Structure 1
Amino acid sequence: MASDTNLLIVGVRFSKVGKIYHYDATHLGTVEVGDRVVVETTRGWQIGEVAQIVAPPAHPPEGGWKPINRLATPRDLLLRQLWQAKEQQAVYLCTQKVTELGLSGVKVIGAEYSLDGTHLAILYSSDTEEKQDLKAFRQAVQKLFPTVQIEYRLLGPRDVAKYMGGMGACGLETRCCSKFLTEFNSISIRMAKEQDISLTPAEITGMCGRLRCCLIYEYEQYCEACRDLPKRNKRVLTPAGEGKVVDLNILIGKVRVEIPEVGVREFSKEEIKPANGGTPSAKPPADKSKG
């Protein structure tokens, strides 16, 4: 067995923007990012793509890293294409069964075969949060594929949007979740409020019907920037007199103040002081543990 310093650990991804799983590629000798490899997973044999070469962590996982079986051969890649064609057929047949059984709200999103064809995952979504009885559906599908081990995977709205792909609600050609997000963060309405984003549903809702993932992208920067800024409607002292804060330009540290007989003027945060003395009361950063 190779020493820890000689181990070649690689990160493998099984879908374009999927999670990365680490495997031992030491016995392969040389592996490069972008290489296609064959590995054994809990869902059968799969072809993945090497996404990164990593330094072995100080403490390996219990039982060590699973080894990569081999670099994918032209035959492996051709076989994967054949199974992809069968996946489309599986989606069509399963969708027919959903219709025949009158399972309203259930939609078959996709199907995924293992490389050896022994394992089939049926990906579906449901319009209701209530648990639906899919016993009849599972029995019907098992009759369609009697020699295959079938797994049923319920996808949430965000996962469906990621899987289906397409244009983002903002007009971006490819949705963030389909382009580069490997995990979903917890998003709250408070993130939009802290950034002064309009709370109009069309402005903060993604194609999945949930709050947009991008609300978190600049959230920490806004929280940090507003620490030294007063809240709206607070009374402050400015070089032009005392007035009331009516607006904030958080990222550049500017404060708009309405001053009697002067009107609305803009000042930097260094130019203002609270009218009652002390330091301007800043918005507290949101508690990110609350989603």
Structure 2
Amino acid sequence: MLKIIGVRFKSVGKIYYFDPKDYDVKMGDKVIVETARGVECGEVALVDREIDETRFTNPVKGIIRLATPNDMKTIEKNRQKEKDAFKICEQKIAAHKLKMNLIDVECTFDNNKLLFYFTAESRVDFRELVKDLAAVFRTRIELRQIGVRDEAKMLGGLGICGQPFCCSRFLGEFQPVSIKMAKEQGLSLNPTKISGTCGRLMCCLKYEQDSYEDLLKHTPKVGAIVKTAEGRGVVEEVNLLTGKLRVKMDKNDNVVVVKKDDIEVIKDSVIRLDRDEIKALKGLEGK
């Protein structure tokens, strides 16, 4: 077993694992580590964990040191450099007349690279922009195009629930969300009701999906043929949470409300998206 700690480089970001070596590391401590991007300063998000070494395909790197007061001063200088770089980059984008929207700038701890995050409706030829930025900052420049989900995560804001975005508050990584989830949960497939501020499906559709999938295993679906105390009929409406069904009877077209435990399923149905629904909701599942 290998003793590891988890380190985040953003307030709500992916956790990376490192060997604490002989350092006494506590939650919230700042540590200096070596990453694929170079030397970085991150915050300890997990401590005192032991993991089987075979789970890691590459050797786990050890931390370089606990952050010192001088390291914290370097971070403050880098934050100021990021603000200056943001303004300069916006000016350069306007000068080159590029159709791109600058979202954020990151400066690595070792000051070896500046990363500029932007959104654009299509691919952008930013080669001349990179040359201009490199001439100004005298360091490696990387421009990275991101999607609308990442933009929302970086900028933050309030969702339709009135709460800060989940992605900028506690979601370290985006979970896959599908239109099928909304359909299975009985939600209106109106794009304005199931999409977030970013214009993509709401991340919170994922939270209760496991429970809905479990309920669907034991509940007849719309279109199912069932046998009730009053005879045979077809399920027209389902309330998964209460377990109540609206069933249209074959013999007289009457509609009755019954509990799922009081009926016998003769032939169940399948939840599917039709072509019109797929067409209307096209693009909501993208990044």
TM range (shorter): 0.7 to 0.9
Q: What is the number of equivalent residue pairs in this alignment?
A: 273
2:216 corresponding residue in structure 1: 226
- Does structure 1 residue 74 correspond to structure 2 residue 66? no
1:84 corresponding residue in structure 2: 79
Q: Counterparts of 1:84-123 in structure 2 under 5 Å?
A: 84-104=79-99, 106-123=100-117
1:151 corresponding residue in structure 2: 142
- Does structure 1 residue 188 correspond to structure 2 residue 178? yes
Q: Counterparts of 1:235-250 in structure 2 under 5 Å?
A: 235-250=225-240
- Does structure 1 residue 133 correspond to structure 2 residue 121? no
SS at match of 1:169: coil
Distance 2:231 2:246 in 1: 13
Query: How big is each residue's C-alpha offset from its partner over 1:196-255, in whole Å with a ceiling of 9 and x where there is no partner?
Result: 111111111111111111222222221221223223244433224444322101123221
1:166 corresponding residue in structure 2: 157
Distance 2:272 2:223 in 1: 19
Distance 1:134 1:35 in 2: 38
SS at match of 1:186: coil
Quote how far apart the aligned CAs of 1:263 are: 4.9
Q: Over aligned residue pairs, what C-alpha RMSD do you find?
A: 2.4
Q: Which residue identity lines up with residue 27 of structure 1 in the other structure?
A: D
SS at match of 1:153: strand
2:282 corresponding residue in structure 1: none
Q: Which residue identity lines up with residue 126 of structure 2 in the other structure?
A: L
Distance 1:95 1:117 in 2: 20
The structure-2 alpha-carbon separation of the partners of 1:181 and 1:135, relative to structure 1 and needing over 3 Å to count, comes to: same
Quote how far apart the aligned CAs of 1:111 are: 0.9
Query: How big is each residue's C-alpha offset from its partner over 1:130-172, in whole Å with a ceiling of 9 and x where there is no partner?
Result: x2211111111112112x1222222111111111111123322
Show structure 2 runs of 5+ residues with no match.
Answer: 274-284
1:47 corresponding residue in structure 2: 41
Quote how far apart the aligned CAs of 1:86 are: 1.4
Show structure 1 runs of 5+ residues with no match.
Answer: none
The structure-2 alpha-carbon separation of the partners of 1:236 and 1:42, relative to structure 1 and needing over 3 Å to count, comes to: closer
The structure-2 alpha-carbon separation of the partners of 1:61 and 1:231, relative to structure 1 and needing over 3 Å to count, comes to: closer
CA contact 2:177–2:203 (8 Å) conserved in 1: yes
**After the TM superposition, which parts of structure 1 deviate over 3 Å for at least 4 consecutive aligned residues?**
60-63, 240-244, 258-265, 282-286
Distance 2:228 2:28 in 1: 59
Distance 2:51 2:223 in 1: 54
Query: How big is each residue's C-alpha offset from its partner over 1:99-150, in whole Å with a ceiling of 9 and x where there is no partner?
Result: 111112x11111111223222111111122xx2211111111112112x122
Quote how far apart the aligned CAs of 1:13 are: 0.6
Q: Which residue identity lines up with residue 133 of structure 1 in the other structure?
A: D
Identity of aligned residues (%): 38
CA contact 1:193–1:199 (8 Å) conserved in 2: yes
Distance 1:197 1:63 in 2: 43
CA contact 2:223–2:268 (8 Å) conserved in 1: no
Distance 1:247 1:63 in 2: 52
TM-score (norm 2): 0.86
Distance 2:230 2:253 in 1: 8
The structure-2 alpha-carbon separation of the partners of 1:284 and 1:209, relative to structure 1 and needing over 3 Å to count, comes to: closer
SS at match of 1:11: strand
Q: Counterparts of 1:6-45 in structure 2 under 5 Å?
A: 7-28=2-23, 30-45=24-39
Distance 1:198 1:71 in 2: 51
Distance 1:235 1:65 in 2: 57
